[in-house]
Amino acid sequence: MKILGSFSDPRAVQGVVDYLKTHGIHSKVHSQDGRIVTVWVEEQDYLQASPHWQEFLADPYNDKYSQASWRIGSSHSFIKYESADLNLVSRFIRLNWLLQLVTAISIFLFASFFIFDANSIFNALKFDVSKPITWFTPAVIHFGVIHLLFNLIWWLYLGNQIVTRAGFYTLLAVFLSSALISNWAQFLMVDAEFGGLSGVVYAQLGFCWVYSVLYPHQTPILSKPIIGFMLIWMVLGFADVLFISMANWAHLFGLLSGISVAFIYAQISGKGT
């Protein structure tokens, strides 16, 4: 057999493998880490399969690949992950370093509240106009387990989607711009008594929402009901009818910053519509 190529998204590879099957090309796949997948085809099929693979690399999330999976009835992943079914630790290790770093800092700071003096830690990291580093640090401060887990789950999922589809520097731009803008907005509109990654999460939401609109040929990152729920949640926060206090202005300006980065990315890449 001959190597057709490798790709870093097993779910996307599932689609192209099913697509090749619809053209009478059978392939085998192999992955040592559950992330980078290598596709092999018979030597006599290589010349026929190669153009399809190049089309896949140019547009790996085209709907025709998911449609191919539906046509042949493929509903399971062909990748056998090592050891446990979830493999959360190994999957986390394979994530981009920025996703790992922000997650680790957030967890460490939250745990430190129970080990050291929480007020001293918060006062050192909360927004302070005279300390530029604190224009970013409120994003990694969390005040409860649910608050922490909710933000980190979205941060990791949406962040990985952004890296896979738009690259690391796009995620970095989303994180830095949204942390800066959302923290400044919350401080100017309310006060410095806030914290959490939710402004960044709403920026990721905004980016993924607009990205899917600008690139309709790719599989949407988020469904419309989920986007609608998150937007309604933000509106309810402004209406002050929820049982928790939220940094509403951070959410709004985080969302707007993520939307802006999506439009800028489309302009720079030259692929926006």
Write the pLDDT tens digit of every residue in 179-211: 999 999 999 999 999 999 999 999 999 999 999
Answer yes or no: 251 catalytic: yes
Cβ–Cβ contacts within 10 Å for residue 72, how many? 12
Q: Is the pLDDT of residue 81 over 50?
A: no
Q: For residues 178 and 198, what is the distance between their CA atoms, to the nearest angstrom?
A: 10
Structural contact between residues 34 and 91, judged by C-beta atoms closer than 8 angstroms: yes
Catalytic member of 147, 212, 251, 257: 251
What per-residue confidence (pLDDT) applies to 199? 95
**Whole-structure pTM value:** 0.70
Catalytic member of 198, 212, 257, 260: 198
Answer yes or no: 198 catalytic: yes
150: exposed, middle or buried (Cβ count in 10 Å: 0-12, 13-18, 19+): middle
Q: For residues 244 and 156, what is the distance between their CA atoms, to the nearest angstrom?
A: 23
What percent of the chain has pLDDT above 70? 91
Phi/psi for 7 (5° steps) reads -150, 155
Strands 2-7 and 27-30: unpaired
Q: For residues 83 and 213, what is the distance between their CA atoms, to the nearest angstrom?
A: 38
pLDDT band at 28 (very low <50, low <70, confident <90, very high): confident
Helix (H) or strand (E) holding 193: none
Structure tokens at 36: 């980078």
Cβ–Cβ contacts within 10 Å for residue 144, how many? 11
Structural contact between residues 218 and 272, judged by C-beta atoms closer than 8 angstroms: no
What per-residue confidence (pLDDT) applies to 34? 59
If you average pLDDT over residues 44-63, what whole number do you get?
89
Write the pLDDT tens digit of every residue in 90-99: 778 888 899 9
Helix/strand/coil for 60: coil
